[in-house]
Amino acid sequence: MGLIDFHCHVLPGVDDGVKDLEASKVQFAAYREAGFDRVVFTPHVYNPYVRSRIDLFRERAAVASATAKDYGLETWLGCELFVGSQPELKAIPIMGKFALCEFDRFLQPQMLLERLQRLSDKGFTIVLAHVERFLWFSPDCELVAPLRAMGALFQVNVEGVESGAAVPWLERRLADLIATDNHGDASLPGRLREQVGNWPYLLKRMECLHP
Ligand SMILES: [Fe+2]
């Protein structure tokens, strides 16, 4: 089996990721070239800094998915849910069960554990996106244990690994997956491959990312 990218913005024309299908094809070719066979589309939802065309997600995913097949890629539509102050957390389930969640970089959302627990109670496995990015979160943070007890997974970005910011998460085996968070940089699939190779314990964990 090849590699999976679980977090990227290569669904065309729906958020701040790639603009059109031609640009998606460039990314699909890069994934294939780097030995990937699975990609999860995770366009932003509820992110206050990004305009998302949620109304277009499904039709764009149908076209992008069919196109990605020509590159040997199986794809899924999910989303990257921004957990802000919205009353109820609604996510597009990735593979029927995962919810990829992001947060404000500077401020821990109120009632975070309670709200994520409610999402988990609905049957979602929570995946925290780019955990290295949040200034209120760290491997020593008291939120880690209850999140683990909830079954939450921690994702780090390729760029976070390269910069060193995500390394403490990897050294303590708290990171469960590396992903690209690719917004249109065709070098990222190859860099993801390289970083997964540097942290072989991840291979087993990333095998769990299936429907
Ligand atoms: Fe993202």
Range of the domain at 114: 3-206
E strand intervals along 88-158 = 98-102, 125-128, 153-157
Q: What is the pTM of this model?
A: 0.97
**What are the phi and psi torsion angles at 7 (to 5°)?**
-150, 110
Residue 83 belongs to domain with CATH number: 3.20.20.140
CA distance 141 to 13: 37
Does a structural domain hold residue 107?
yes
pLDDT of residue 92: 96
What spacing in Å lies between the alpha carbon of 66 and ligand 1's midpoint? 22
Q: pLDDT, tens digit, for every residue of 180-207?
A: 999 999 999 999 999 999 999 999 999 9
What spacing in Å lies between the alpha carbon of 80 and ligand 1's midpoint? 6
- 105: DSSP letter: S
Q: pLDDT, tens digit, for every residue of 35-56?
A: 999 999 999 999 999 999 999 9
What spacing in Å lies between the alpha carbon of 58 and ligand 1's midpoint? 18
User: How many independent structural domains does the chain possess?
Assistant: 1
What spacing in Å lies between the alpha carbon of 44 and ligand 1's midpoint? 7
pLDDT of residue 121: 96
What spacing in Å lies between the alpha carbon of 12 and ligand 1's midpoint? 14
What spacing in Å lies between the alpha carbon of 181 and ligand 1's midpoint? 5
